[in-house]
Amino acid sequence: MSQIPFLAIVLTPLVILALATLLTWVERRLLGLWQDRHGPNRVGPGGLFQAVADGIKILFKQDWIPPFADKAIFVLAPTIGMMTVLLSFGAIPFTAWSGIVGTLNVGLLFILGMMGLGVYAVVLAGWASNSKYALLGGMRAAAQMISYEVFMGLSLLGVVMIAGSFNLHDIVMAQTHCWFILPQCLGFLVFLLAGIAETHRLPFDLPEGENELGAGFHTEYSGMKFGMFFIAEYAGIILISSLVTTLYLGGWQGPLLPAALWFLLKTTSVVIFFILLRAALPRPRYDQLMALGWKILLPLSLLNVTATGTVLMLRAAG
Amino acid sequence: MNTLALFSGAVTLLGAIMVITRQVAVHAVLYLVVTLLGLATVFALLGAPFAAALEVIIYAGAIMVLFVFVIMMLNLGQSDREREKEWLRPRIWLGPALLSILLCAELIYSVSSSPQQEGPLAPLSARDVGLSLFGPYVLMVELVSFLLLAGLITAFHIGRHRTEGR
Distance from chain centroid for Cα B155: 23
ipTM score for this prediction: 0.83
- Looking at the domain assignment, is residue B91 inside a domain? yes
Selected for mutation to probe chain A from B41, B56, B125 (highest A CB count within 10 Å) is B56
CB within 8 Å of A252: residues ≥ 6 apart: A93, A94, A95, A96, A172, A259, A260, A262, A263
Whether residues A142 and B69 touch (CB distance < 8 A) is answered with yes
pLDDT band, residue B99 (cuts 50/70/90): very high
Does residue A74 contact residue B94 with C-beta atoms inside 8 Å? no
Let me know whether B131 and B67 are in one domain.
no
Let me know whether B95 and B69 are in one domain.
no
Let me know whether B84 and B67 are in one domain.
no
Let me know whether B71 and B3 are in one domain.
yes
* Nearest residue of B to residue A80, measured between CA atoms: B30
* Nearest residue of B to residue A150, measured between CA atoms: B62
Let me know whether B62 and B25 are in one domain.
yes
Let me know whether B9 and B36 are in one domain.
yes
Let me know whether B105 and B153 are in one domain.
no
Which has the closest alpha carbon to A251: A237, A236, A262, A239? Answer: A262
Mean pLDDT over each residue of chain A, to the nearest integer: 85
Let me know whether B100 and B148 are in one domain.
no
Does residue B151 register a pLDDT over 90? yes
Which has the closest alpha carbon to A111: A90, A134, A88, A95? Answer: A88
- Looking at the domain assignment, is residue B119 inside a domain? no
Q: Which of B27, B53, B60 minimises the CB distance to A106?
A: B53
Does residue A3 register a pLDDT over 60? no
pLDDT band, residue B165 (cuts 50/70/90): low
Domain count, chain B: 3
pLDDT digits (tens, 9 = 90+) for A35-67: 888 888 888 888 888 888 888 888 888 888 888
Residues of chain A contacting B52 with CB distance shorter than 8 Å = 106
CATH of the domain at B49: 1.20.120.1200
> Looking at residue B32, what is its pLDDT?
93
Selected for mutation to probe chain B from A120, A159, A198 (highest B CB count within 10 Å) is A120
Which has the closest alpha carbon to A68: A147, A155, A15, A135? Answer: A135
Angle of CA points A6, B124, A313, to nearest 5°: 110
Q: Which of A106, A119, A127 minimises the CB distance to B49?
A: A106
- Looking at the domain assignment, is residue B33 inside a domain? yes
Let me know whether B72 and B16 are in one domain.
yes
* Nearest residue of B to residue A141, measured between CA atoms: B69
Residue B117's H or E segment, with its range, is: none
Let me know whether B64 and B104 are in one domain.
no
Whether residues A142 and B72 touch (CB distance < 8 A) is answered with yes
> Looking at residue A2, what is its pLDDT?
44
> Looking at residue B37, what is its pLDDT?
92
- Looking at the domain assignment, is residue B52 inside a domain? yes
Does residue A102 register a pLDDT over 60? no
Query: Chain A residues within 8 A (CB-CB) of chain B?
Result: 70, 73, 104-106, 109-110, 112-117, 119-120, 123-124, 126-127, 135, 138-139, 142-143, 145-146, 149, 153, 166
Does residue A241 register a pLDDT over 90? yes
Angle of CA points A9, A11, A14, to nearest 5°: 115
- Looking at the domain assignment, is residue B15 inside a domain? yes
- Looking at the domain assignment, is residue B166 inside a domain? no
Whether residues B68 and A124 touch (CB distance < 8 A) is answered with yes
> Looking at residue A49, what is its pLDDT?
86
Can you give the pTM of this predicted structure? 0.87
Nearest-Cα distance to chain B for A62, in Å, is 27
pLDDT digits (tens, 9 = 90+) for A257-310: 888 888 889 999 999 999 998 888 888 888 888 888 888 989 999 999 999 999
Distance from chain centroid for Cα A66: 29
- Quote the CA–CA distance of A198 and A233 in Å, as a whole number: 10
* Nearest residue of A to residue B70, measured between CA atoms: A139
Let me know whether B70 and B139 are in one domain.
no
Whether residues A120 and B62 touch (CB distance < 8 A) is answered with no
Does residue A1 register a pLDDT over 50? no
DSSP helix/strand/coil, A178: coil
- Looking at the domain assignment, is residue B154 inside a domain? yes
pLDDT band, residue A101 (cuts 50/70/90): low
Which domain covers residue B57, as residue numbers? 1-76
Task: Give the number of A-B residue pairs with CB atoms closer than 8 Å.
Answer: 79
Let me know whether B66 and B82 are in one domain.
no
- Looking at the domain assignment, is residue B83 inside a domain? yes
